[in-house]
């Protein structure tokens, strides 16, 4: 997760696409845990949500975190 001062500058997208190129070259599948703020960016980079995870951080459920497990299979060239 990027510091708020550095968000919306394309760094996460650039880094994700860079990792995708490496994955494509070696034929590896990538899995990431995406927060709500990054799920759309991963979808735009070819990832598909395969699982949703919810974490109750307090017993009274006042703090709940939701993550998506995203998967991208390598692209054959």
The mean per-residue pLDDT over the stretch 15-25 comes to 95
What pLDDT was estimated at residue 22? 95
Distance CA(15)–CA(2), nearest Å, equals 12
Q: What is the value of pTM for the model shown?
A: 0.82
What pLDDT was estimated at residue 16? 95
Q: Where are the domains of the chain?
A: 27-77
Distance CA(22)–CA(9), nearest Å, equals 22
Quick one: 68 exposed, middle or buried, by C-beta within 10 A (0-12, 13-18, 19+)?
A: buried
Has residue 2 got a pLDDT over 80? no
What pLDDT was estimated at residue 44? 96
């Amino acid at each position: 997760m990027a510091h708020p001062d550095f968000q919306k500058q394309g760094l996460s997208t650039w880094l994700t696409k860079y990792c995708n190129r490496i994955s494509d070259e070696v034929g590896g599948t990538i899995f990431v845990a995406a927060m709500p703020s990054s799920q759309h960016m991963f979808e735009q980079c070819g990832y598909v949500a395969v699982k949703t995870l919810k974490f109750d951080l307090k017993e009274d459920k006042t703090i709940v975190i939701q993550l998506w497990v995203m998967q991208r299979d390598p692209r054959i060239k």
